[in-house]
Structures are given as structure tokens and as C-alpha cells.
Amino acid sequence: MRWQRRAFPFLTVANFLVPLAFYPLFGWNAVLIAGALRTAALMTATGFVNSVCHKWGSRAIDSRGHEYRADDSRDNVFVAVVAGGEGNHSWHHADPACPRHGRKVELDAEALAAGARPDRGWRPDATWRLIQLLAMAGLIYKVKKPRVKVYFADKQLIPGQSLRQTHLDWHIEEPQDLRELVAS
């Protein structure tokens, strides 16, 4: 992390100079594609993560079958493909220290008996695959392994007061099971 802070000015300049190196070989089209369009695509993917993944998709589910509801974050497969796995945004909020956001957890026997359904969706996560590759190459180490069993804290099961107020202001109805959790 330290080297990134020191190298940031050089990386920023290289971001624009490297595409210019393609000009003698391929002309301005290469500069446009390697520079401007690449930057625009990256910014669009980032915008998708912070907008689409707070509106559409499924929520992370813990081993007891409870949904993560501390905020409006969701997992969206389309955004996960476009943004290299960052579209599994609900897991990013639920367990931010874990490098794998495109994951599924095992349900407890009690959750299965209560009728909780295991997550069968596809969770693409290219970022996790890159982390695994770098770890195998010895370039990174001490990578935190995702747990198979995950249990959300009680405060992660209900939205905070500011989020609930936003829902009231925007006339978004709270689910019935959420009212029961808040009441208890």
C-alpha cells in the first residue's frame, strides 16, 4: 500500500503516456482506444457498482439464512462481469476484509429445516482469481481465506435509522419480516 501512495503521481502520468506510445505504430485510433475509451469504460464500471448494486440484485445470505440488510447493497451478476467481480457488492459491505466477494456460504441444518434455500446463482469474481494467481506466483502473501460458514451480527440484519428514514422519504415499503426484526 505504501508503494502505491509513493508511485501514484508516476502511475497517473504513465496512464496517459503509455497510450501515446502506440501513436507511431497505429495512429490516433490506438491512442483513443487505449486511453480515452479504456478510462471511460473503467469509470462506467465503477459507477455501475455504486449505483446499480445499491438498487437491483440479491442480498448476501449468511449460514442461518438471514439476509444482510444493514444497507441497500446487492449482488448483481451483470455488474460483476463488467467490473471484474466487484458487482458482488453486498458481500463487500457484509465482510469487507475478505478478498472474495463472489462467494456462497453453507447453510446450517436449522436454516435448511426452516426452509431457507441455498444460493444457487452464479457469482463471477475475476478479482479473486487474480488474487489467487498472484498468491501462487509469490507476489502477495497472507491472503485471507473466505469462511464457509458466515454469521451476520444482529446489527447487520436490520437497516440503520438513516437508511430507514431514506426509505420513508422515498416511499419504499419495508418488508414484513424486517418490521418484526426491528420490533424485537
Q: Which residue has the cell 451483470?
A: 78
Instruction: Verify that 94 and 175 share a domain, yes or no.
Output: yes
Instruction: Verify that 151 and 69 share a domain, yes or no.
Output: yes
Res. 164 pLDDT band, cuts 50 70 90? low
Rounded to an integer, what distance in angstroms lies between the CA atom of residue 78 and that of residue 85? 10
Res. 27 pLDDT band, cuts 50 70 90? confident
What digits encode the pLDDT tens for the residues 139-160? 988 998 888 888 887 767 766 6
| Whether the Cβ atoms of residue 90 and residue 58 lie closer than 8 Å to each other | yes
The tally of domains found in the chain comes to 2
Look up the pTM and report it: 0.72
Instruction: Verify that 49 and 64 share a domain, yes or no.
Output: no
Instruction: Verify that 89 and 178 share a domain, yes or no.
Output: yes
| Whether the predicted pLDDT of 184 surpasses 60 | no
Instruction: Verify that 124 and 50 share a domain, yes or no.
Output: no
Instruction: Verify that 72 and 13 share a domain, yes or no.
Output: no
Q: Which residue has the cell 509513493?
A: 6
Listed in sequence order, the DSSP H helices in the chain are 2-21, 23-26, 28-31, 38-51, 77-82, 89-94, 109-113, 126-136, 161-169, 176-183
Give the residue numbers spanning the domain of 63.
58-183
| Whether the predicted pLDDT of 64 surpasses 90 | no
Instruction: Verify that 10 and 79 share a domain, yes or no.
Output: no
Instruction: Verify that 38 and 62 share a domain, yes or no.
Output: no
Instruction: Verify that 72 and 49 share a domain, yes or no.
Output: no
Rounded to an integer, what distance in angstroms lies between the CA atom of residue 91 and that of residue 99? 10
